[in-house]
Amino acid sequence: MKLANALSQRSELQTRIRQLESRLNNNALVQEGEEPAEDPMELLRELEADYARLEELISAINRTNNTTRLEDGSALSDQLARRDCLKSRLSGLRNFLNNASALVHRHSASEIKIKSTVNVRQLQKQVDSLSRELRELEEVIQEKNWTTELL
């Protein structure tokens, strides 16, 4: 199985687990004399089986990510951590730039003038550069996902 397939299965299992948990909660209580729409014990068995399969998949994915090397010799897991940090940095910078570049309209010359505390243009260039770096890293990671066999 390719790493990409395992990642897809993991995502599907996580969705199924969330749905099973919701169904389980919906069947936790019934009015006296009534039966639940679904057997909670059967739902619990399904949930346990799905969690066991998810644990197997995550372990295999982690082993594969730790042993798979990219062209530069770095581990795929290291580049995944880099990607996650780049995404967070970009999100924070974009939110900050959104606030720093917001226009405050004055209705008269006597109102307080509001101005940005940073060079928005310079920071926007940094965001653009980080975005390009993230996009290129995503391409490398995706290529490895489709060509790497799961361990």
Query: How far apart are alpha carbons 40 and 21 in whole angstroms?
Result: 10
pLDDT tens across 69-78, in order?
999 999 999 9
- State the burial class of residue 138 (Cβ atoms within 10 Å of its Cβ: 0-12, 13-18, 19+): middle
The pTM assigned to this predicted structure is: 0.82
pLDDT tens-digit profile, the chain (151 residues): 999 999 999 999 999 999 999 999 999 999 999 999 999 999 999 999 999 999 999 999 999 999 999 999 999 999 999 999 999 999 999 999 999 988 777 677 777 878 888 999 999 999 999 999 999 999 999 999 999 999 8
- State the burial class of residue 3 (Cβ atoms within 10 Å of its Cβ: 0-12, 13-18, 19+): buried
Give the single-character DSSP code of 30.
Answer: -
Query: How far apart are alpha carbons 125 and 2 in whole angstroms?
Result: 37
pLDDT tens across 74-102, in order?
999 999 999 999 999 999 999 999 999 88
Query: How far apart are alpha carbons 44 and 64 in whole angstroms?
Result: 30
| Cβ atoms 133, 86 nearer than 8 A | yes
